[in-house]
Structure 1
Amino acid sequence: MIQFNQLADNAEKLYKKVMGIPAPKDENQMIISDLKHIHDRITRSEAIFNELTDSDLIDYATYDLLAEKARYAYLIKEAKKRNLHF
């Protein structure tokens, strides 16, 4: 599972580099970018979780998904503090 997420992250970075999508310039842009990225990771993690049958992998996927959701909740709080809209 970790390898899949790393592969997806690397593919996203390469895509942005090839397409000329600029990196976030300030902290506010970074928060918005991270929110979008984490949302995609949550979607991927949920899809993987729904396909698993091995109990050990289900446990791992559960912790991974909870960690992603905790990060997302933190970033949402930060965005609200800064009155960011996306």
Structure 2
Amino acid sequence: MNEHTKDIWKGIGIVLLLHGLLLIFPITIFFIGFVQVIYIIPAVVIALMKRKTAIAQGILIAAGITFLVNTACFGVFMMGWY
């Protein structure tokens, strides 16, 4: 793997660690798609200020996947397809 790919995976790992911190407040797991904005935006800004664009890309990729999965699960739950 080249350095760019490794930095993208580092960004994804950062988001996973930040998501793990949400376990302190379990109710936030249900709204993680929206709550993550509180810590994703500063994380991306910090990465970009340090000129770590690949890490910022990894953070945004993981945040997007989290948002999409949360939205899909919420839709299934609200429609009663479980």
Q: TM-score, normalised by structure 2?
A: 0.51
What residue is the counterpart of 2:18 in the other structure?
5
Q: With the length of structure 1 as denominator, give the TM-score of the two structures.
A: 0.50
Structure having greater relative contact order (Cα 8 Å, sep ≥ 6): 2
Q: Provide the identity percentage.
A: 8
Contact 1:49 1:61 in 2 (8 A): yes
| 1:38 Cα deviation from its structure 2 partner | 4.1
- The answer to whether the aligner puts 1:43 opposite 2:55 as a matched pair is no
Structure 1: gaps (5+ residues)? 17-22, 25-32
CA 1:38–1:77: 2 relative to 1, 3 Å: closer
Aligned partner of 1:53 in structure 2 is 49
**Structure 1 residue ranges, 4+ long, deviating more than 4 angstroms after superposition:** none
Equivalent-residue separation in structure 2 for 1:72 and 1:35 (angstroms) = 11
Structure in which a larger fraction of residues adopt helix: 2
